[in-house]
Chains A and B, each alone.
Chain A
Amino acid sequence: MLTWIKQSFARQTGAIMLITGLLLNSLYSFISYQNETRQLEEFIESEARQLTEILALLITDDLRYEKYYDLWDKIIRVKNNYRQQSQHGRLFNIRSIAILDKQEKIAGHTDPQHFPLKSDYASIAPNNVRHGHIFSDYHHEWRDDMSTLLMHIPLRFGDEVIGALLLELDPSPLIKHKKQLITGYVIYQFVLISIILILAMLFAIWIAKPVGLAVRVLDDIGKGNIHLRGLTQRQDEFGKLGEAIEKADQRIFHDTQKLQQQQDELEKNRKLLEQRVQQRTGELEEANKELAAFSYSVSHDLRSPLRAIDGFAQALDEDYEEKLDETGKNYIARIRAGVQRMSNLIDDMLMLSRVSRREIESFPVNLSEMAERIRRRLQEQDPDRPVEWNIARQVRVEGDPHLLEILMTNLLDNAWKYTGKTMEPRIEFGTMDEKGETVYFVRDNGAGFDMKYADKLFGVFQRLHAMGEFEGTGIGLATVARILQRHGGRIWADAQVDKGATFYFTIGERSR
């Protein structure tokens, strides 16, 4: 139903009219009903009071002179006659009339079988008719959810109160009247709703006609056919709408032509640029391949002479040990250390080269287990170092397992290395969420570094510490950065001298 209404502006207009009409009408009916019923109640109270006062006048003498039969005769006649009258439009019936004497004994009752003369009234009186209260003044009250109207009035002979009159009225005709009122209102509502519905429908049809025309025109425009039909012939807002559409169409046509020209030009430029990019990319790829091949071959080819140097230096050290003095021995040792450093450099360069050239093969990888393996290896190498490890559990990513192993080894080896001189060293591997992206980190409380050199961290051969202080080739972090680059990730660091460093990294889309 709601969808059906939503589909049409005319239906929406009609529905709004209908709902508004209903709400206003219901409110009006409710207030009117309340007013009417209150007026009816007041009318009944007023009628009942008149009845009570007339009855009081009628029976006071009988009570005073103890003419109990006359008194009863009168009240029973009043009750019977009033009931007869009530069938013709009265709003209540008399349920009972009771006359009490000063001692609150019954001096007359319309139901003497149950309320015998001179019996004690208090024990059979309606609830809450308090002794003494009935002799004070006129009083009325609605009881039992307005199904009973109880009234009492003191009976005075001169200034003396000689008794009381109690009337119990049955306002069922009022209830009947209320029901009639409600029925009347329901019928009234129904008629009004019908009228509102018809008006709403007429209005909807009236408003729908030009709106429908406008919709058809716009629909045609959408299909490329400009037929404003009868829209521009109208004198009202829809006529102006037609004119506006006509102007807009001309403007759109003009703008479209202009846009088409610009688009053609852009397309031409784009193709030109694309050709240039392809050309440059091809050149770059070629250069890269050559560079990698050169780097590999240089690194590889350097190994043979380096092994020769180390081998002869070793032979010299062993075979001419007795002939060499301390200075000579020192020179040989320094040659061999330099060779070792160069060998390490070549290894790292080959590693960087391989990392750059290797085809990425993606698998699920558990970084936590990887970190744990590295921890065990490091700890076995130097069991006496009391490092506190904190490795997050079940950190899983998608990536190349071999490259990620190199990445984690580099970062954790660095952490192990730079906490070498720290009291109570701590190394932590974990993850954090930053703006919906998973960020992994390796944190230590080691030597740290000055953040002003942070931009040099991930370059090749860049070192922030002296060789004597911490060993290294300056290629490790470059390799890490390259691995992450290959995975579509990135790396950055945060550090403070002598307080530690934290390396944060992401592993591209697949790491999420």
Chain B
Amino acid sequence: MSKTGITTLSGLLLVIFSSIFISIFSPGSHAHGDEVRPSADKPGVIHDFVITGVVLNSGNARLVEQFVELLGKHSGYRMKARFVSSYDDLSDILRKQPDAIGWTCGVPFVQDRRRDGQQLIGVPLFNGKPLYYSLILAHRDKTEKILSDFRGQVLAYSDPRSNSGFIAPSYVLKKQGIDIKKHFRLLLHTGNHERSIRALLNGLADVAAVDEYVWTAWRRNNPQKARKLRVLQRLGPFPFTPVVAGRAVAEPTLRTLQETLTALPDMPQGRQLLQEFGLDGFVLEKPEFYQPIENMLIELNGLQH
């Protein structure tokens, strides 16, 4: 191989390598605007339906889009799905765009309702109830029995404002007199529940707190990998992740949306979507339904975010 040959090959490899990096790590879908749009229930306006990966499994984008489209079509409130990577982003968008709709978690809802006047639309029914658990997962080889046994190890969690991922385990440990931030060698922020599961599988984390709903769906799709993990504890039950509206969404729109959500099991497409989501339907609850979460936050001094 001549010197020129090596130089040419080197250049070619650099281009290929750079392309790989760009393709893997380009920000693309994570970009979002920061400007505040006027909150209005105006005809012709397309509203954001904000959703985070903390709530759902990956690969559900198409399903979410169909769900949002169906909801808009039947409620007359036109929407498009917008994916964000954290509850902070979701809260931020609903604060700046109060006409937006979102599928959030109990903790950010309690906090944002208090601060931004978020409104509750409906709560999904999972296993027939608007409730779910936070599961403490670990590798099957681990001998520890409960979360507190993992002292000095690595805890994976999806989001610091995730009820199942962080608040519930924090609360349970606090009840045992343990400060979650001091108990573990590292609190590994993964971004979503699926990544917490992956962190366990790859040995990155020793224990993880994961949403029961996400785990159920993931286990269904990955039965082989799921066998390597074990549920050590079930924390809860807690009020399930709610569909919410910004403060500017008008009462009639809210009602229409509620009617549409609750009527989904009666629609063929709605039934199909619910089945694919692994949900039984939506129910209407009062905001006080989330009082248990609010109580936990008060104990953890985390009500004000």
Closest to A74 in B: B25
Measured between beta carbons, the chain B residues less than 8 angstroms from A69 are: 156, 188-191, 195, 199, 204
**In the bound complex, CA of A112 to CA of B203 (Å):** 5
Measured between beta carbons, the chain B residues less than 8 angstroms from A118 are: 154, 185-186
**In the bound complex, CA of A372 to CA of B280 (Å):** 141
CB pair B20–A117 under 8 Å, yes or no, is no
Tell me the dominant secondary structure on chain A's binding face: helix
In chain A, residues 68-89, which have Cβ atoms closer than 8 Å to a Cβ of chain B? 68-70, 72-74, 76-78, 81-82, 85, 89
CB pair A50–B14 under 8 Å, yes or no, is yes
Measured between beta carbons, the chain A residues less than 8 angstroms from B20 are: 81-82, 85
Interface string of A106-128 (1 = CB under 8 A from B): 00000011001110000000000
Measured between beta carbons, the chain B residues less than 8 angstroms from A40 are: 1, 6
In chain A, residues 34-77, which have Cβ atoms closer than 8 Å to a Cβ of chain B? 36, 39-40, 43, 46-47, 50-51, 54, 58, 66-70, 72-74, 76-77
Interface string of B178-193 (1 = CB under 8 A from A): 0000000110111100
Interface string of B20-31 (1 = CB under 8 A from A): 110011000000
A116: contacting residue among B1, B10, B154, B189, CB under 8 A: B154
CB pair B1–A68 under 8 Å, yes or no, is no
**In the bound complex, CA of A89 to CA of B9 (Å):** 10
Measured between beta carbons, the chain B residues less than 8 angstroms from A36 are: 1
A85: contacting residue among B16, B189, B204, CB under 8 A: B16
Measured between beta carbons, the chain A residues less than 8 angstroms from B14 are: 50
B21: contacting residue among A58, A66, A68, A117, CB under 8 A: A58
CB pair A90–B13 under 8 Å, yes or no, is yes
Let me know if B222 is at the binding interface, CB within 8 A. Answer: no
B1: contacting residue among A39, A54, A70, CB under 8 A: A39
CB pair B3–A39 under 8 Å, yes or no, is yes
CB pair A43–B6 under 8 Å, yes or no, is yes
**In the bound complex, CA of A81 to CA of B156 (Å):** 25
CB pair A54–B10 under 8 Å, yes or no, is no
Measured between beta carbons, the chain A residues less than 8 angstroms from B195 are: 69, 73
- Closest CB of chain B to A357's CB: distance in Å? 101
**In the bound complex, CA of A40 to CA of B3 (Å):** 9
Measured between beta carbons, the chain B residues less than 8 angstroms from A58 are: 21, 25
Measured between beta carbons, the chain A residues less than 8 angstroms from B25 are: 58, 74
- Closest CB of chain A to B188's CB: distance in Å? 6
CB pair A113–B203 under 8 Å, yes or no, is yes
Interface string of B137-154 (1 = CB under 8 A from A): 000000000000000001
**In the bound complex, CA of A58 to CA of B27 (Å):** 12
CB pair B6–A39 under 8 Å, yes or no, is yes
How big is chain A's contact interface, by range? Answer: 20 to 34
- Closest CB of chain B to A108's CB: distance in Å? 9
Given A69-B204, A112-B203, A117–B10 Cβ distance below 8 Å? no
A43: contacting residue among B10, B18, B186, CB under 8 A: B10
Measured between beta carbons, the chain B residues less than 8 angstroms from A66 are: 189
**In the bound complex, CA of A408 to CA of B20 (Å):** 114
Measured between beta carbons, the chain A residues less than 8 angstroms from B1 are: 36, 39-40
Measured between beta carbons, the chain A residues less than 8 angstroms from B188 are: 68-69, 117
Let me know if B202 is at the binding interface, CB within 8 A. Answer: yes
- Closest CB of chain B to A50's CB: distance in Å? 6
Closest to B3 in A: A39
Measured between beta carbons, the chain B residues less than 8 angstroms from A67 are: 189
**In the bound complex, CA of A90 to CA of B13 (Å):** 8
Closest to B156 in A: A69
CB pair A112–B204 under 8 Å, yes or no, is yes
B24: contacting residue among A81, A113, A116, CB under 8 A: A81
**In the bound complex, CA of A74 to CA of B13 (Å):** 19
In chain B, residues 1-52, which have Cβ atoms closer than 8 Å to a Cβ of chain A? 1, 3, 6, 9-10, 13-14, 16-18, 20-21, 24-25
Closest to B203 in A: A113
Measured between beta carbons, the chain B residues less than 8 angstroms from A85 are: 16-17, 20
CB pair A116–B17 under 8 Å, yes or no, is no
B13: contacting residue among A47, A76, A113, A116, CB under 8 A: A47
Measured between beta carbons, the chain A residues less than 8 angstroms from B21 are: 54, 58, 78
Measured between beta carbons, the chain A residues less than 8 angstroms from B186 are: 68, 117-118
**In the bound complex, CA of A73 to CA of B25 (Å):** 10
Given A39-B6, A117-B188, A72–B24 Cβ distance below 8 Å? no
- Closest CB of chain B to A207's CB: distance in Å? 39
Given A36-B1, A50-B17, A72–B204 Cβ distance below 8 Å? yes
**In the bound complex, CA of A392 to CA of B301 (Å):** 125
Interface string of A88-102 (1 = CB under 8 A from B): 011000000000000
- Closest CB of chain B to A344's CB: distance in Å? 111
**In the bound complex, CA of A112 to CA of B202 (Å):** 7
Closest to B196 in A: A69
CB pair B204–A117 under 8 Å, yes or no, is yes
For A40, A66, A69, A82, the residue with the greatest tally of chain B CB atoms inside 10 Å of its CB is A69
Measured between beta carbons, the chain A residues less than 8 angstroms from B154 are: 116-118
Given A43-B10, A58-B25, A77-B24, A116–B3 Cβ distance below 8 Å? no
- Closest CB of chain B to A76's CB: distance in Å? 8
Closest to A65 in B: B189
**In the bound complex, CA of A46 to CA of B14 (Å):** 11
In chain A, residues 285-311, which have Cβ atoms closer than 8 Å to a Cβ of chain B? none
- Closest CB of chain A to B256's CB: distance in Å? 40
Measured between beta carbons, the chain A residues less than 8 angstroms from B18 are: 54
**In the bound complex, CA of A21 to CA of B186 (Å):** 69
Closest to B195 in A: A69
**In the bound complex, CA of A67 to CA of B199 (Å):** 13
| Interface pairs (28), CB distance under 8 Å | A36-B1, A39-B3, A43-B6, A43-B9, A46-B10, A47-B10, A47-B13, A50-B14, A51-B17, A54-B17, A58-B21, A66-B189, A68-B189, A72-B199, A72-B202, A78-B24, A82-B17, A82-B20, A85-B16, A85-B17, A89-B9, A112-B204, A113-B203, A116-B154, A116-B203, A117-B188, A117-B205, A118-B154
Interface residues of B (CB under 8 A from A): 1, 3, 6, 9-10, 13-14, 16-18, 20-21, 24-25, 154, 156, 185-186, 188-191, 195, 199, 202-205
Q: A82-B20, A85-B16, A117-B154 are in contact. List 14 more A-B contacts (CB 8 A).
A: A39-B3, A47-B10, A50-B17, A54-B21, A68-B204, A69-B190, A69-B204, A72-B199, A85-B17, A90-B13, A113-B203, A117-B186, A117-B188, A118-B154
Interface residues of A (CB under 8 A from B): 36, 39-40, 43, 46-47, 50-51, 54, 58, 66-70, 72-74, 76-78, 81-82, 85, 89-90, 112-113, 116-118
7 closest A-B pairs by beta carbon, nearest first, are A113-B203, A69-B190, A112-B203, A112-B204, A118-B186, A43-B6, A118-B185
